[in-house]
Structure 1
Amino acid sequence: MITYLTGTLTEATPLRAVVELNGIGYEVHVPVTTAERLPQTGNSVKLHTHVVYREDSQTLYGFATTEDRDFFCMLIEHVSGVGPKVALSIMSRLSLPLLESAIREGDVTTLSKCPGIGKKTAERLVVELRNRLGAASSAPSPVAGDGKAGGPDGAPGSGAVTDAIAALTVLGYKTADADKAVRRALVALGGAPSTEALIKKALGR
């Protein structure tokens, strides 16, 4: 099993990355929330991976953190009707802290707005994953590259992320738009910014 891949990023799109290692280019399918944190092409990158084996194919999926990868595995292994394509779609729409928060709180409305799932699938996410989520969750952090530290070390707690998202929704942002703005703010600020810093950056201040 390939658990992570470290090499040179040679191609990147919102849902796909190519990592060159020892002269071999590995095609890795990634969610948008990971693609947003990729370095510029030509730089070193580390992706935490999961391989899906089928009779006629082997598909590699990559994520910015082990927490993202483990959540993806939970989706495809424990939620009936959710395969890798739908799981990537869900994780492309919302960041991990917001997804975990919505599942814990039974927020079917937010979950059902993810492409590829309806109300029934959203309800299954809550029922089948709520008890599997740990007490703590991780916030997004840049993927290694461009001098930025990858992995969960130094990343802000999920509380700062969810609080910033909540503040933006109070200001009139839709949940998904607020989540996207906070993700961009995290990448731009780096390190472990406070809730206030995230809000200001998301608002362009």
Structure 2
Amino acid sequence: MIGKLKGTLDEVDEDFCIVDVHGVGYVAYCSARTLANLPGQGEAVTLLIETYVREDMIRLYGFQSALEREWFRLLLHNVQGVGAKVALAILSTLSPSDLASAIALRDIAMVSRAPGVGKKVAERIVTELRNKAPAYAGEATGTIGLKQELGEGVAPAPISDAVSALTNLGYSRDVAANAVSAAMRTAGEGADSALLIRLGLKELAR
């Protein structure tokens, strides 16, 4: 099984790239996010690889980070109705931290933004991966607990009210939750919703 490719970027297409390793060209299917971050043609490149074997084919899927590869594995092996193509579409639309946040918040609309992901599939993703998301939150690790409380409807009233108020002002639930989380660090425990809203707006104005 191939776990990593290190060579020269030979070609980039719509959904794959070719990595030349000592004269052998390996085709690696990638998310749009990974393809956009590749170096120039002819330059050195390293991709983490997930090898997908079926009776009729062998495919390589390439990732620039271990976290993105882990999310590909989670989606592929834990959610019914999610194949490799849909998993890559999700990772093309949402970064690992954004996906973890969306699942924690049970934001089905956010997950269903990915091409090929309808409401039912998005609901399955949120349901099946909600307990796994915190371990793969990446940059969202510091706020994932709060977002899970919000998603499950068990967050303290001042926090949920503050997030709701910021959402009503047009901010996404994820952005609002991040702002309120930052506000809580400034205000400390026991802050009321008015203070959290005011400090949250200051965070958003930065």
Q: Return the TM-score normalized by structure 1.
A: 0.67
Instruction: Provide the residue aligned with 1:76 in structure 2.
Output: 76
- Pair 1:170–1:93, CA change in 2 (3 A): farther
Instruction: Provide the residue aligned with 1:52 in structure 2.
Output: 52
Unaligned stretches of 5+ in structure 1?
A: 139-156, 163-168, 179-198, 201-205
Give, in angstroms, the shift of residue 107 of structure 1.
0.4
Asked if the contact 1:14–1:36 (Cα under 8 Å) also holds between the matched residues in 2, the reply is: no
Quote the Cα distance in structure 2 between the aligned partners of 1:4 and 1:171: 45
Amino acid at match of 1:58: I
Note the 1:16-95 alignment, pairs <5 A.
Answer: 16-95=16-95
Give, in angstroms, the shift of residue 33 of structure 1.
1.0
Give, in angstroms, the shift of residue 104 of structure 1.
1.1
Secondary structure of 1:113 counterpart: coil
Secondary structure of 2:102 counterpart: helix
- Pair 1:170–1:11, CA change in 2 (3 A): farther
Quote the Cα distance in structure 2 between the aligned partners of 1:7 and 1:77: 29
Asked if the contact 2:96–2:136 (Cα under 8 Å) also holds between the matched residues in 1, the reply is: no
Quote the Cα distance in structure 1 between the aligned partners of 2:140 and 2:13: 26
Tell me the alpha carbon deviations over residues 134-168 of structure 1, each in whole angstroms, 9 at most, x when there is no partner: 34533xxxxxxxxxxxxxxxxxx3479x9xxxxxx
Structure 1 residue ranges (4+ consecutive) displaced by more than 3 angstroms after TM superposition: 157-160, 169-175
Note the 1:1-205 alignment, pairs <5 A.
Answer: 1-135=1-135, 137-138=137-138, 157-158=139-140
- Pair 1:127–1:170, CA change in 2 (3 A): same
Amino acid at match of 1:28: A
Give, in angstroms, the shift of residue 123 of structure 1.
0.6
**Structure with the higher fraction of residues in helix conformation:** 2
Quote the Cα distance in structure 2 between the aligned partners of 1:115 and 1:37: 20
Secondary structure of 2:41 counterpart: coil
Greater Rg by CA: 2
Secondary structure of 2:60 counterpart: strand
Give, in angstroms, the shift of residue 113 of structure 1.
1.8
Secondary structure of 1:131 counterpart: coil
- Pair 1:13–1:172, CA change in 2 (3 A): farther
Asked if the contact 2:100–2:136 (Cα under 8 Å) also holds between the matched residues in 1, the reply is: no
- Pair 1:170–1:41, CA change in 2 (3 A): farther
Give, in angstroms, the shift of residue 172 of structure 1.
6.8
- Pair 1:170–1:61, CA change in 2 (3 A): farther
Quote the Cα distance in structure 2 between the aligned partners of 1:92 and 1:49: 16
- Pair 1:170–1:26, CA change in 2 (3 A): farther
**Sequence identity percentage:** 41
- Pair 1:57–1:65, CA change in 2 (3 A): same
Q: How many residues align?
A: 155
Q: Return the TM-score normalized by structure 2.
A: 0.67
Unaligned stretches of 5+ in structure 2?
A: 145-166, 176-204
Bigger RCO of structures 1 and 2 (CA < 8 A, at least 6 apart): 1
Asked if the contact 2:9–2:20 (Cα under 8 Å) also holds between the matched residues in 1, the reply is: yes
